[in-house]
Structure 1
Amino acid sequence: MGKENICFLSVWIILGKIFATFSSDPELITVFDNTTVTGTPPPTPPGWITDFTDIVSKFSLRTVDIPDDDMCYIVTGSPETVKECEFNPQTQTFIIIHGWTRDLAMQHHLILKTIWLLSNHNTQNVFYPEGVLLSCSWPHKSVCVCVCVCVLLQVTGMFESWVPKLVSALYEREPSANVIVVDWLTRANQHYPTSAAYTKLVGRDVAKFVTWIQKELQLPWERIHLLGYSLGAHVAGVAGDLTDHKISRITGLDPAGPTFEHADNQNTLSKEDAQFVDVLHTNTRGSPDRSIGIQRAVGHIDIYPNGGTFQPGCDIQNTLMGIALEGIKGLQNMDQLVKCSHERSIHLYIDSLLNTQRQTMAYRCNSRETFNKGMCLSCRKNRCNKLGYNINKVRSTRSAKMYLKTREISPYKVFHYQVKVHLFNKDPLSFTEQPMKISLYGTHGEKEGISFVLPVLSGNTTLSFLITTDVDVGDLMIVKLRWEKDTIISWTDWWGSSKFHIRKLRIKSGETQSKVIFSAKDGEFAYLVRGGEEGVFVKSKEDNMNRKEKLMHKLKMQGSLFGQNDA
């Protein structure tokens, strides 16, 4: 093994340990102390809502031309600042609330902490001020000099890079709107438990500001929309709870999990905080107590893209590939290990503002496991909805949990299909975790070689599974299904035939709600053979006949109704 490969392997091991340390070890992560926020908000004596002397947060009205700079601050209780900032009371008002700026994802300092001689079983332990212990080990007997690159949590006092992007996207969609950014950096720049506790005070600041500006300008409550990310989502919730009138809408962008997962509604975002509360959950991996984003549903509609866990393109392999290709420059992507999935909630929302022709659909489902079987692609009775800005504001007494898949870059939209297939086999064959590929050919395009894994593959059973494609193929005409060769040799490869018979495929499109039956192209059956040729299926004549019969029945019913009306 060459020195370059050895050193790359060491970086892999080190970064793996860093990631595991940041995400899982409760004893080593004091910054993620998960003491639940409890108790009631600070006392609210009579007239507290009009006492502006204790407001610490700042409210910057950003502009279309300079979305990344605080050109003008509106001071609560100072009407002249409203005029100076040219606030427009006749249009929509968006209030953006950032999260913890001491977040692992905010900014990093890459530290060449130690250069040491590494040998077999030699271990170097590095302890950082925030309470993170990094252990870098070298298992190879060869001796080489290697650089241990570690991440130091850093107080930055700067806005996160997504803020101007969201400001610009809101102005792109609503050019005449007011887009206000809440600056609570002095309180967000603390250890996590401290900043989490401050959300109650910042929420009071926002409640006072919203109440004052609404009364000062007779601003309709229906035109006020709060958007909060991470801790900022809970700030928005506290503010909505304290105002004397329901805010129109609060959008929670992956609300923070630590200290809030089991907190009461007064201290967290909840559906009682606004007329409509929609929430995106994008980083809920791990146990509830250690999840970066809150796992439980807290809004009227809670959407869990890709199951709400790690998002596409946010895995450690992508970061390590950057390091391998770009060296030290690639390390600038190190923060993606932590912030990528958490921040994806923001970029999905921005995507909904900008890509109006590619709106992403989500589907109501009891669990992500059921959704991954393709069994929830229904739009009946408000069971599907658009993700983001254009969501249909459906209010119910219980939170509606919705799921969808996305791709890793914007536009994030993919097309969802449920595939149902009945397998026949005379032998009692059964396999697990089998690699498959499916190809779709339609009137608008095609998508070949979509890879997926079937958890169970056995004879005389009906399987249902979900597949997605980022290509709009139009109306499906041909489908090809292939059973890939497994890397593990099975006894059936030697003593039996790994083959199933398939007569039909039933495919439902989530986006169009169409259901189509496909029959084997040649003969009564198509054969699914491990490592063999793909089975080819074409649009069924039976399906076409059923459609014609349904259409004729519909026309007859309409005719009979017309006759009744004429009578």
Structure 2
Amino acid sequence: MRNPVLLLYFWCVYCCFPAGSLTTLRPQGSLRDEHHKPTRVPATVKPSVAFNIRTSKDPEHEGCNLFLGDNQLLEDCGFNMTAKTFFIIHGWTMSGMLEKWLHKLVSALQTRERDANVVVVDWLPLAHQLYIDAVNNTRVVGQRVAGMLDWLQEKEEFSLGNVHLIGYSLGAHVAGYAGNFVKGTVGRITGLDPAGPMFEGADINRRLSPDDADFVDVLHTYTLSFGLSIGIRMPVGHIDIYPNGGDFQPGCGFNDVLGSIAYGTITEVVKCEHERAVHLFVDSLVNQDKPSFAFQCTDSNRFKKGICLSCRKNRCNGIGYNTKKMRKKRNSKMYLKTRAGMPFRVYHYQMKVHIFNYKNSGDIQPTFYVTLYGSNADSQNLPLEVVDKIGLNATNTFLVYTEEDLGDLLKLRLTWEGISHSWYNLWNEFRSYLSQPSNPSRELHVRRIRVKSGETQRKLTFCAQDPKKTSISPGQELWFHKCRDGWRMKNETSPFVELP
């Protein structure tokens, strides 16, 4: 789908057109000169970078603007020197106005951390530009944030370790610059889908990096865009989390790109994918009883195979606000699946299926589905997604996930789809047919299925309901019941023995 026309359209719509109109707004006056103006700015003149402490959850409330050097304003605005301090930094803007997501994030932070200071870094005059110009402004905005933090550090009870910078898109790199320029070390920076264009592959001093704070965590939700990443693809934090592989987010409709372009909704689709990082972070704040977990893995394909659901040696972590700093982690890539909306949590399962092929020398590629039956609920018919190909007379590992908590798993149903409904499955069927000898017997055997829950780390073994009937063919199903807690021990004889 790397059509150059689509790519050009995509890039121009999202990154190159002047924001809001064909007349590009330019910063008024010298940024360097403005930094040395008197602290009080006339009400009619909006500073290029404003620090607005939010004192109300009402999005219509104007909040209270802080000015560097004005100690009385700190007191008047109710700034709490001993509490946590959050700086929310928006990104490039097409509208010239603060987006709705920002108000949701402010409210969520105020609900979760009632005594905290929530400061919005408003750099709209410098962000409502051509994308390239906005990128060039991120450095000076980062310097302004660092300047504000340096001034606050002069106060006796203020601690830089209590500061959490949260930056979305270009704002993530602003946060990186702030952490780089400040005197000392910021406690935490969270990058919400940091911008990719002009930052992918850049030197660590020109983008967000793990060196910019004591802990840097990143959510990547839109790293796939036909050769151009709206969100940065490379890991740039201590922990980098890629929900749904960091590309196609459920509910955003990006699977139908041509339809989105035809109906003029491509910008909404892009916005949904890119902004999903913010909503995942908000979800982690407001749905404390439904936390999502991510799992360390070298790449997305290995995660899709179900190989990476271990929590040993700090290999799993919460996401969003709940992400915890891990000792000696740097550029650690983690993955998870999510729902299409809040709460985003799903329940991951690793399934190990040893598939035997006794009667056929051809290459059979079955299309398997599994249904999980639990003490709380039953799952839908879930596909066993094949990343490469199914290995016969070998153990195959799959990843499945459910949107609700099934409770304790009691039994499973394995189904071999009789008629393929996708082009991928049709190709598998056709390839299998060509590779088979005449009068093939399309029959496989499955005796046991081993299951591991990502969320609980519990391991279970399920055995064929009838040990004498383990064969399955297209259009048939096999039932398995729980026969063991855990998997076989190292000194146990392998349960996978050939049938007579």
So what's the TM-score if we normalise by structure 2? 0.84
User: Identity over the aligned pairs, expressed in percent?
Assistant: 43
Residue among 365, 374, 381 paired with 1:442: 374
Partner secondary structure for residue 189 of structure 2: strand
So what's the TM-score if we normalise by structure 1? 0.74
Aligned to 1:472: 405
Partner secondary structure for residue 211 of structure 2: helix
CA shift, 1:72, in A, is 1.4
Residue among 36, 58, 68 paired with 2:50: 58
1:362 corresponds to 2:316: no
Partner secondary structure for residue 162 of structure 1: helix
CA shift, 1:175, in A, is 1.4
Partner secondary structure for residue 389 of structure 1: helix
Equivalent residues in 2 for 1:411-422, closer than 5 Å = 411-422=343-354
CA contact (8 A) 1:300 1:395 kept: no
Equivalent residues in 2 for 1:141-156, closer than 5 Å = 156=95
**Alpha-carbon displacement from aligned partner over 1:60-114 (angstroms, at most 9, x marks no partner):** 1112332354331111111122122111222111100000002xxxxxxxxxxxx
Partner secondary structure for residue 446 of structure 1: coil
CA shift, 1:53, in A, is 5.8
Separation of aligned partners in 1, 2:173 and 2:487? 55
What amino acid sits opposite 2:224 in the alignment?
A: R
1:184 corresponds to 2:123: yes
1:353 corresponds to 2:285: yes
Separation of aligned partners in 1, 2:290 and 2:437? 45
Aligned to 1:284: 223
CA shift, 1:217, in A, is 5.5
Separation of aligned partners in 2, 1:382 and 1:276? 15
CA shift, 1:459, in A, is 2.5
CA shift, 1:335, in A, is 3.2
CA RMSD of aligned residues (A): 3.2
Separation of aligned partners in 2, 1:293 and 1:165? 21
Structure 1 residues 494 and 60, CA gap change in structure 2 (3 angstroms): farther
What amino acid sits opposite 1:511 in the alignment?
A: E
CA shift, 1:391, in A, is 1.4
1:74 corresponds to 2:66: yes
Structure 1 residues 22 and 387, CA gap change in structure 2 (3 angstroms): farther
CA contact (8 A) 1:301 1:401 kept: yes
Aligned to 2:303: 371
Aligned to 2:457: 513
CA contact (8 A) 2:361 2:437 kept: no
CA shift, 1:178, in A, is 1.0
263-272 vs 247-256, greater mean Cα deviation: 263-272
CA contact (8 A) 2:53 2:120 kept: yes
Structure 1 residues 320 and 370, CA gap change in structure 2 (3 angstroms): closer
Structure 1 residues 338 and 545, CA gap change in structure 2 (3 angstroms): closer
CA shift, 1:412, in A, is 0.5
Partner secondary structure for residue 218 of structure 2: strand
Residue among 458, 479, 482 paired with 1:539: 482
CA contact (8 A) 2:385 2:398 kept: no
1:501 corresponds to 2:445: yes
Residue among 301, 310, 314 paired with 1:382: 314
What amino acid sits opposite 2:483 in the alignment?
A: S
Equivalent residues in 2 for 1:148-547, closer than 5 Å = 156-216=95-155, 218-286=157-225, 290-316=228-254, 335-396=267-328, 398-426=330-358, 427-432=360-365, 435-455=367-387, 456-484=389-417, 485-487=419-421, 488=426, 490=430, 491=433, 495-530=439-474, 532-541=475-484, 543=485
Separation of aligned partners in 2, 1:410 and 1:18? 35
Aligned to 2:77: 85
CA contact (8 A) 1:22 1:29 kept: no
Structure 1 residues 544 and 507, CA gap change in structure 2 (3 angstroms): closer
CA contact (8 A) 1:57 1:183 kept: yes
Aligned to 1:124: none
Give unmatched runs, 5+ long, in structure 1. 1-15, 33-44, 103-155, 325-329, 551-567
Partner secondary structure for residue 334 of structure 2: strand
CA contact (8 A) 2:452 2:459 kept: yes
Give unmatched runs, 5+ long, in structure 2. 19-31, 40-46, 493-500
Partner secondary structure for residue 225 of structure 1: strand
Separation of aligned partners in 2, 1:260 and 1:60? 28
What amino acid sits opposite 1:213 in the alignment?
A: L
Separation of aligned partners in 1, 2:487 and 2:244? 37
Partner secondary structure for residue 245 of structure 2: helix
CA shift, 1:223, in A, is 1.3
Partner secondary structure for residue 496 of structure 1: coil
Separation of aligned partners in 1, 2:49 and 2:461? 59
Separation of aligned partners in 1, 2:443 and 2:313? 41
How many residue pairs were aligned? 456
Partner secondary structure for residue 163 of structure 1: helix
CA shift, 1:17, in A, is 10
CA contact (8 A) 2:15 2:131 kept: no
CA contact (8 A) 1:52 1:77 kept: no
Structure 1 residues 402 and 546, CA gap change in structure 2 (3 angstroms): closer
Partner secondary structure for residue 73 of structure 1: strand
Separation of aligned partners in 2, 1:428 and 1:286? 41
440-449 vs 236-245, greater mean Cα deviation: 440-449
Aligned to 2:27: none
Separation of aligned partners in 1, 2:167 and 2:187? 14
